[in-house]
Amino acid sequence: MKVRQPLIFIFLLCFAKSSFAQNKILNSSFEMYSALPSNFGEWCLLDDWWNLSGTCELDPNYATPDFFHMNATGGVQLPNTQLSTIYPRTGNGIVGFAAWHPFYTDAREYISSTLDSPLVPGTTYNISFYYSNGESNISYGGYGCDGLGVYFSIDTVFNMGIGVLNVQPQLEVSNIVYSNFWSLITFEFTPTEPYRYMTIGVFKEHADLNTQLFESSMVWEMAYFYIEDVCLAEHATACAANLPVELVSFTAQEEDGFRVKLDWRTFSEVNFKYFEVEHSLDGFSWRNSIGQVAGRGNADFGEQYNLLHSTPSRGMNYYRLKMVDWDGSLQFSDVVSARIEMPVAYQPTIYPNPTFGDISIQMPYDREEKASLIVLDMTGKVVLDLGILPSDEYEITIPTANLPAGVYLLQHSFNGITSVQKIIKLTE
């Protein structure tokens, strides 16, 4: 007996620690479902979450949140959905809901879930979730708003229609939020009642809601939010423990005047495969992967990594890490940036700009290598490939007769440096 008593004590202590750290949100990353979605509004296919109106199909008379998945079909297949382009932060599934529309000003959608057990009154909990408004090709969205919040209840909540839910959320974001990448929202909450249900959405009436247009949409300009990795626990690290890799830091630093050094460190890694470093010119459109770095697989105490970007663009350069697990699930880091001030000697001269007709490009006279020139539209599509200029060719004419009026990007690479400058084609 003298030997077993300490073992029993240790077992109970470990059990208590495990319960303390448990995420109380069931299906917190939207990976469990009865069937894959093929259309919008098929919220009921998810386990442990439900639509407040009880519907499970697209219906203009009811609020119908959306379930998206990498293996779905139709307009809800990730990453290139009918609404926008977006990758899951972790796993393969995400959810989305409409928060506000300028023509249907009090139309709202909400997502709701049952907790694994009631909250304990007087206990402080950490609540967090990631949100995004989509990365590119946004057809529905473009607006941000304030009022994104969380409502806890003892009983289930219903909202038969599309109006604002007539409740007062215990937690609410006071500022306008909008992000093209996954961003974290966190709260602390000490309940006074044994709440069993949680609802996420925008609870403000139109008269009290603040909105802002961030990007012009091609179809419907509205506030539409994607949600990932919902967590409710007594310990803030409970959710991070479920991820294949935890980042401690990620930085971008200009080096030698024309290169960017990227450094990152992990806290832990579990069956982790690799990092892919992505580069963007605006922080929204992620077209280029500048390299992959293999993970260490399993690392209890974390690892240090780095990568050198030898051909950044002049001006601001944005970077993020795509972290890929062996099972194919992935997540993205926060975005970091570095500014490159290219020497004046390396900058081509563009004239006339703006222009109604052709454009002349005058290259620097002191370059030592051949130069490559391409013209891209604002989606990153190459519209003109001007090929390679020998080192002794200093001027080239860009024909614009076949280009519609608009803004384009001239990307030129020489002497180991890549730079981008805007070209504006005017309507004749």
Distance between CA atoms of 315 and 191, rounded to whole angstroms?
48
Token couple for 201: 């959405």
Total-model pTM: 0.59
**Burial of residue 341 (number of CB atoms within 10 Å: 0-12, 13-18, 19+):** exposed
Which domains occur in the chain, in start order? 20-233 (2.60.120.260), 243-340 (2.60.40.10), 344-425 (2.60.40.3080)
Distance between CA atoms of 108 and 144, rounded to whole angstroms?
14
267 within 8 A of 247, measured Cβ to Cβ: yes
Tokens 């929202």 -> residue: 185
pLDDT tens string for the chain (428 positions)?
A: 333 333 333 333 333 334 345 889 999 999 999 999 999 989 889 999 987 777 777 777 777 899 999 999 999 999 989 888 898 888 899 999 999 988 888 889 999 999 999 999 999 998 999 899 987 667 778 899 999 999 999 998 888 778 899 999 999 998 999 988 888 888 999 999 999 999 999 999 999 999 999 887 667 889 999 999 999 998 755 665 455 677 888 999 988 767 899 999 988 777 678 999 999 887 767 767 899 999 876 666 678 999 999 878 778 889 999 888 776 666 778 889 998 876 555 567 788 888 888 888 876 644 555 678 888 887 778 888 887 776 566 678 888 888 888 888 888 776 566 777 888 888 76
Distance between CA atoms of 337 and 143, rounded to whole angstroms?
24
Chain-centroid distance of CA 137 in Å reads 14
Phi and psi at 69, nearest 5°, equal -150, 150
DSSP state, 44? G
319 within 8 A of 336, measured Cβ to Cβ: yes
**SS3 (DSSP) at 87:** coil
